[in-house]
Amino acid sequence: MKRYSAFAVAREALRNNTGWERAWASPEPRKKYDVIIVGAGGHGLATAYYLGKNFGITNVAVLEKGWLGGGNTGRNTTIIRSNYLQDASAAIYEKARSLYEGLSQDLNYNIMFSPRGVMMLAQTQGEVRGFERTAHANMLQGVKTEFIGPERVKQLVPIININGPRYPVLGAIWQARAGTARHDAVAWGYARACSDMGMHIIQKCEVTGIEQSGGKVTGVNTTRGSIGCDKLGVVVAGHSGHVADMAGFRLPIESVSLQALVSEPIKPCMDVVVMANTVHGYMSQSDKGEMVIGGGTDGYNNYTQRGAFHHIEETVRALVETFPMVARLKMLRQWGGIVDVTGDRSPILSKTPVENMFVNCGWGTGGFKAIPGSGWGFAELMAKGHSPLTEAFGLNRFYEGRFIDESVAAGVAH
């Protein structure tokens, strides 16, 4: 694989851009691999990448029923932060955030990481107490956050109205090194690096069954034939319960649609990310000038990837009070993503009842921000059978009553 660089751009400019290679190969599947990863989103591709980089496991296939990055990876609002309350959560999200900072250099692919800062508004006294508690916990965890007052909020976000009639801004928890990245570029960068290591990324290859022998996984049935494997990783977000059912066990998750929208592009007016949990809305400005707006999950289980009018009304109504300028903008487009939510609002990275089958799911609304940390820990779990990053997120916690409650820190949708 040729490295991208300023010299490469200049060279290709001189020869009319005829020398660029495909970013990743599109091979036919082999009969068997050492590892199969089901799901070519950010988490699945990151898992494959760190299997190769950290453990030298490159006989890997990443299977995707649609197109690469066409699920939640390409449908999220690109927020990256690590200011979670519980120690296990803060550890894996901070690992992800720190990896994001050097990911463009690591992958030789510009993921457009922007550490612009993320603030979560406190608009009730309960939120003030909750975020102050989180800030203290983050200090003990080594995660750099702070609780700031309304004056500092206004200084960082001049367009905000801190004296809202229903919910005035009483402060915010602020993480200066948090930010955003280009979601598609994260998937493309990992895919390119995986392909360069000799891994197979196989699109339009839907898994239709799990093959087992003596309680141990032996391969998968797909729309492109049966493919054998020694180990199987399932990383399919909202469809995790469906794949688990093929293997004969159930997962404690629910799948719902999380909706978002963007406005028409405007001049730069907001260079941080703002989340408003009380009124259920969050907003940032993209590099193209669009105001990227997210809200809550649907109140019922579904697999739709479309928007709904009631979310436009609820989310925009909430943000108009906090950001009055939003009222003058036109909506450009709206969409939904299928998120999988657990009872304690924390993910599952775990072995399963089927030997050598592993599952990575339950990220809810926090999936994109966790991609590098999730891939790092899940790869270690698959390669070695255990990982400090994933130890607390096993399936056994649900019958042991050892929950990781992130119902407040997980964001507006919960």
Averaged pLDDT for residues 211-218: 96
44-58, 318-332, 343-357: segment of lowest average pLDDT: 318-332
Whether 310 shows a pLDDT value over 90: the answer reads: no
Averaged pLDDT for residues 184-204: 97
* 118-178+255-342: CATH superfamily: D-Amino Acid Oxidase, subunit A, domain 2 (3.30.9.10)
Dihedral over Cα of 211, 250, 183, 299: its sign: positive
Crossing angle of helices 371-384 and 87-101, in 10° steps, is 110
Q: What is the pLDDT of residue 414?
A: 39
Do 29-109+183-253+344-400 and 118-178+255-342 show the same overall fold?
Answer: no
Q: What is the pLDDT of residue 312?
A: 82
Q: What is the pLDDT of residue 408?
A: 63
Locate 38 and state its tokens: 């089901």
For the chain, give the percent of residues with pLDDT over 90.
Answer: 79
DSSP-based three-state secondary structure for 331: strand
Tens of pLDDT along 215-251? Answer: 999 999 999 999 999 999 999 999 999 999 999 999 9
Tens of pLDDT along 78-127? Answer: 999 999 999 999 999 999 999 999 999 999 999 999 999 999 999 999 99
> How far is it, in rounded angstroms, from Cα 260 to Cα 241?
24
Mean of all residue pLDDT scores within the chain: 93
Position 167 confidence tier, pLDDT thresholds 50, 70, 90: confident
Position 405 confidence tier, pLDDT thresholds 50, 70, 90: confident
Give the 3-state secondary structure percentages of the chain, helix then strand then coil, rounded to 5.
35, 25, 40
Tens of pLDDT along 366-377? Answer: 899 999 999 999
Q: What is the pLDDT of residue 409?
A: 62
DSSP secondary structure of 22-72: PSS--PPPPSEEEEEEE--SHHHHHHHHHHHHHH----EEEE-SSSTT-SG
Q: Which of residues 57 and 324 earns the better pLDDT score?
A: 57
Q: What is the pLDDT of residue 217?
A: 98
> How far is it, in rounded angstroms, from Cα 295 to Cα 319?
10
> How far is it, in rounded angstroms, from Cα 114 to Cα 383?
32
Please name the helix (run of DSSP H) or strand (run of DSSP E) that holds residue 1, with its range, or none: none
Whether 19 shows a pLDDT value over 90: the answer reads: no
Whether 413 shows a pLDDT value over 60: the answer reads: no
Whether 410 shows a pLDDT value over 70: the answer reads: no
Domain range summary for the chain, segments of one domain joined by +: 29-109+183-253+344-400, 118-178+255-342
C-beta separation of 264 from 334 below 8 A: no
Locate 262 and state its tokens: 């963007």
Fold for domain 29-109+183-253+344-400?
Answer: FAD/NAD(P)-binding domain (3.50.50)
Locate 372 and state its tokens: 């590098």
Q: What is the pLDDT of residue 241?
A: 94
